[in-house]
Each structure stands twice: as structure tokens, then as C-alpha cells.
Amino acid sequence: MTTELWNPQKDIEGFPQFTGEDARVQVQRELLKYQDEKHGGQWFIPWTKYRHPELGDGEIAGWIPKYRVNSNRTSLACGLNVLTRYDTSLPLPGLIADDSLSALNTETVRLINHYTYVLCGDGDLMEGVSAEAASLAGHHGLGKLIVFYDSNSITIEGSTDLAFTEDVLKRFAAYGWQTLSGDAYDLEGIMKLVKEAQNEENRPAII
């Protein structure tokens, strides 16, 4: 876990980035660039020496962007990513616990009042484990969970029509989710959809 349950700053936004390998590759590329510039062309960085540079640890903490606040998780197998958060721990038990703890909120004290955002693509939602996670989230009415689905209809083999022709939003509606659609290039429109999703407290949302 990147945030301990007893950490007084636990109530922060979670943002797992999950589309393929992009986020992890970006970190590795920046590490290689740093190593090449600072260490005479050496391209190999011992992981044990630098620990977790994506969290801002180690010798190069001042140079590598601190991903910890913005991204709790990057990438492994596509479908697994929708289910994971906070490094290798499972998110849904954490989200369910957050949902239960929010019952302790009062008008003056907000113990749990944050959202978890997930960015996923076609490959993530084609795999079965994401369906199980979505079903469980809908069953528990996790209204603090918002998924951004980048539906670009492309896979490594070509069009998603080769193997994936279902109506994803109808499937998520059947799970009990709020379903919203918008243009990814219309940032103002997306922000309005996020606000609409946040106003629905009893259902997770997919945009």
C-alpha cells in the first residue's frame, strides 16, 4: 500500500492510470534520460539503489516528477488494472471500507470524503476480471468511484470489432453504474460530466 490506513492524510484522491504500459514506460524513459545525462551514458539503473523513483524516493527524488499524489497505480495485465489500486493491493475492499467509514461522517467532521478515479481503455474492459470488479462496485453502490473509459476502438491486432462488439455502457448500466458519454477533447464538457458523476452518491460512474 502506498498510503497506510492510519495515515492522517489517507483521505486523498486516488488516480490509478491503467491504459496499457504507458505510465510505467514514461517513468522508465525519464529514468534512462536522467541516467544518461548524469552518469556518463550508463543506461542501467539498479532498482534496489533507487528504490521507487516514481514515488519520489532515492537519490534522484528532486528530478523525477512525484507521481505518488496523482497516480497510485500504473500498469500490469490490462484487465487486472481496473481492479488494482495502491501498488499491489486490491482497491475494491478499500473502496468498500471507505464507503462504510463514510457513515461516520458528520456535518463538521468528514473522515472519508474523497474520490477514486480510474483511466482505462478497451483492452482493460475486454478482460473478465474488470467485469467482476465492476459488478461488485455496482452491487455496493460505490458512489466515490469514477472510471474514465477511453473508447478508441483500437487494439494491437487492429479494430476492436475483431473480438469486442458489445455495448460497454449498457453492460455497466446493468451492473448498476451511472453511464455518461462525452468528447475527450472537450475538457469543459468532461468536467461537467465529472460533476454530474460526483452528484450521484449511490452509484459508481463510467464516463
Q: How far apart are CA 163 and CA 29, in angstroms?
A: 32
Render 152-165 in DSSP notation, one character per residue: --EETTEEGGGT--
Is residue 126 over pLDDT 80?
Answer: yes
Start-to-end CA distance of the chain, whole Å, equals 27
Q: Cα dihedral sign for 179, 181, 91, 126? A: positive
Residues 206/169, Cβ–Cβ less than 8 Å? yes
Q: How far apart are CA 16 and CA 24, in angstroms?
A: 12
pTM for the structure as a whole: 0.60
How far is Cα of residue 125 from the mean position of the Cα atoms in its chain?
13
pLDDT in tens, 70-125: 444 444 455 555 555 433 333 455 566 566 666 666 777 766 677 888 888 888 88
In the chain, which residues fall in CATH 3.40.50.970? Answer: 78-206
Report the CATH number of the 78-206 domain.
3.40.50.970
